[in-house]
Amino acid sequence: MADGPTRYIGMPHKRLEDRTLLTGGGRFAADLSAPGQLHMRVVRSPVAFGRLRSVDVREARRLPGVVAVWTFADVERIPPIQIRLTKIGGLEPYQQTVLARDYVRYVGDPVAAVFAEDPYVAEDAAELVFPEIEELPACISATEPPREFMPETLPGVSSEAACVTKAYGDLDAAFAAAHEVVELEVAVGRHTGVPLETRGALAEFDPAKGTLTMRGAAKVPHYNRGQVARMLDMPDEMVHLIQGHVGGGFGVRGELYPEDVLVCHAALRLKRPVKWVEDRQEHLMAANHSRDQSYRLRAAVDARGFILGLQAEVFSDQGGYVRTHGVTVPDLSAAMLPGPYLVPAYRADVHVRLTNKTPAGTYRAPGRYESTFARERLLDAIAHALGRDPVEVRRVNLIPRDRMPFDRGVDTLGTRVVYDSGDYALLLDKLLAYLDYDRLKQALAARRAAGEHVGFGLGYFVEKSGLGPADKAVISIDAEGMVEVVTGAASIGQGIETAMAQICAEVLEVPIERIRVVHGRTDRIDYGMGAFASRVTVMTGCAVKAAAEALLEKLAGAQVGTPASAEGWFRADHMTYPYGIHAAVVRVDPGTCAVHVERFVVAYDIGRAVNPMLVEGQIVGGAVQGIGGALFEEFVYDANGQPLVTTFGDYLMPTLAEVPPVEALVTEDAPATQNPLGVKGAGEAGINGAGAAIAAAVDDALGRPGAVTRLPVTPIRLHRLLGERD
């Protein structure tokens, strides 16, 4: 042990992960290979909706180098992919089989799988597979009335898979007492995470040991291991999922997809390693999309703009199947819509409807990016209706510090929503001071007077993090004093090795360089929840702290160089709730219909930062994605359900030319009360309020309150707004 205490928590320690990556030692899914491996290629539906009459694979099977071609008949014993996160029942008819059965439900739906000696033969063979599909009228709008989904195979099953309702308080009394009722309809378009690395996997079966190993796992390896074992009728302990380096997660990567199961099943049946890596077009067509929600809001307000009651009807486009996320996004949308505001009476009904688009799942700040946009647009509309300043209307509605912990009156993800700590007014004051708000308003007014179209907007949000129920860590020290931390968490680029090493180093008082962190391996630890919902720092971090303390107790009085190990658990039945504000200054160019983001600030209270540098990195990365969703990124379909965006030529993402330096104002005024470290998550801070802030800023630049009602604000939409103004 060190001679004296050394502080690690709270320090901007450089990432331990980066040396390997920067020196070319990264091992991503596409880098993996095994002797004798086969390559899988998936044949996908070219139509959005239709009866799958047959799949002709005869020519493909005759191609030299092709080992097998499968259709649903070859995998019919494999059950559909189960749902991971939703407590709501009745979703079984909407689950996806690993290959399409009877119907195809979106362009990209897997109808066959080809296995060949090399990837080029697999690609050629896939072109020789001919599905016979009787095309049917596609549904591409979730606001259309529900219909019988597939009458021949699922008689009586509605295209509305669920309706999620959250409610409390007396809405009738609120509207009866209203000084004014403000109504608003807004929508957020369909987009997704688009990680740098597409999905991929390598599966191998060891007949001597009877073990199946899949490399290329991400996000939730323990859960996916259990599901693969169940679907392939194997004991859990005979299936191993191993994570390597991951080129971005963002909610879209690491869920259990049909391709993961197909690769594993093929390794078992064909007795050879099987590799699959999707191309970018596949990824844009077949990996989970997200967002795509429409809101109809009614607010009862008093003369100050205080919201007495809020009623919301929401339509959530689920796409062709309900995948592993279930109705998590709609559930979070409904639960988190009130945000940082008191809202004494509330009801939200979220209609989860299937359409003939790519299935939807989570994407960074799922349900919150959308609901924050809707709520903050409503606050701006209230301010305009009453002739009040938007900042002051927000201040009137903020939950006071002395009301913490604040029971929101609803639950989500199986837990009661109780804001554990927060000083929302203080963060607003700090942001306004940081911006020199009065001077900023004067400067923008002067620029507008000179003919520029410039504006300011902000969006306040509450996040959630630290989803339980439990996490485990095992820490050991060898005779040379090297420490190994084994966790059931996973890395998706968030710096888990560094943050966990910092926590361990602080407790054990050993140099961080002597600590090795193992994650994402089901063969090294028997329990793990993985990495999602900004949970790792809270749940895994507190488990590491507990394990380190247990190890320290074991080592007390022991001789120097005594090897030892200890495990630690952390359990939680409530999440933590960090919060923040996004502020944007934009300039609108009427000639090109472009929106230039001149300044972007994220104020965020994290409770306690393990590594402030990592927190700021998370904020900056999230902000870039948020700006993308606000101005550029959108999956568009034609009337027949054909995707019009399947390359980066059409799916536009922001570059350094479109994003200003993101300013992060990180505060630690409200440590979490539910865990011994006082930490809250940072993964979604940078993206949550971006759309809301930019929309308000565009309104201000145009001089038209309430002009932006849909994201993204693309040039064509801005052109229409400018035309309406003229």
Cα 459 to Cα 22, 116, 630, distances in angstroms: 36, 52, 13
Place of tokens 């002739």: 387
Neighbours of 549 (CB within 10 A): 16
Reported as a pLDDT band with limits 50, 70 and 90, residue 1 is very low
Which pLDDT value is given to residue 405?
97
Q: Is the pLDDT of residue 62 over 80?
A: yes
Q: Name the average pLDDT for the chain.
A: 96
Dist. CA 253–CA 276, nearest whole Å: 15
Q: Is the pLDDT of residue 437 over 70?
A: yes
Which pLDDT value is given to residue 6?
67
First to last CA, the chain: 72
User: Measured at the alpha carbon of residue 315, what is the angle toward residues 310 and 316, in degrees to the nearest 5?
Assistant: 120
3-state SS of 136-200 is CCCCCCCCCCCCEEECCCEEEEECEEEEEEEEECCHHHHHHCCCEEEEEEEEEEEECCCCCCCCE
Which phi and psi (to 5°) does residue 334 adopt? -70, -40
Per-residue pLDDT tens over the stretch 222-253: 999 999 999 999 999 999 999 999 999 999 99
Q: Is the pLDDT of residue 391 over 50?
A: yes
537: which DSSP letter?
I
**Domain spans, the chain:** 18-23+467-571, 32-136+198-246+253-286, 290-465+575-725
User: Measured at the alpha carbon of residue 341, what is the angle toward residues 336 and 345, in degrees to the nearest 5?
Assistant: 80
Q: What is the pLDDT averaged over residues 424-447?
A: 98
Can 18-23+467-571 and 290-465+575-725 be said to share one CATH topology? yes
Dist. CA 523–CA 520, nearest whole Å: 9
Question: pTM to 2 decimals?
Answer: 0.96
Q: What CATH architecture is 18-23+467-571?
A: 2-Layer Sandwich (3.30)
Cα-based torsion angle of the residue sequence 251, 30, 286, 88 in order, rounded to the nearest 10 degrees: -40
Q: Is the pLDDT of residue 538 over 70?
A: yes
Reported as a pLDDT band with limits 50, 70 and 90, residue 726 is low
CA proximity to 462, closest of 384, 402, 390, 397: 397
Which phi and psi (to 5°) does residue 130 adopt? -120, 100
Per-residue pLDDT tens over the stretch 111-146: 999 999 999 999 999 999 999 999 999 999 999 999
Which pLDDT value is given to residue 725?
64
Per-residue pLDDT tens over the stretch 586-619: 999 999 999 999 999 999 999 999 999 999 999 9
Place of tokens 């050879």: 272
Which pLDDT value is given to residue 597?
98
Per-residue pLDDT tens over the stretch 348-383: 999 999 999 999 999 999 999 999 999 999 999 999
For the domain made up of 290-465+575-725, the CATH class stated in words is alpha beta
CA proximity to 105, closest of 448, 324, 355: 355
Which token pair is 534?
A: 């900004």
Which pLDDT value is given to residue 557?
76
For the domain made up of 32-136+198-246+253-286, the CATH class stated in words is alpha beta
Cα 139 to Cα 110, 126, 313, 360, distances in angstroms: 19, 28, 20, 15
CA proximity to 48, closest of 383, 359, 346: 359
Q: Is the pLDDT of residue 459 over 50?
A: yes
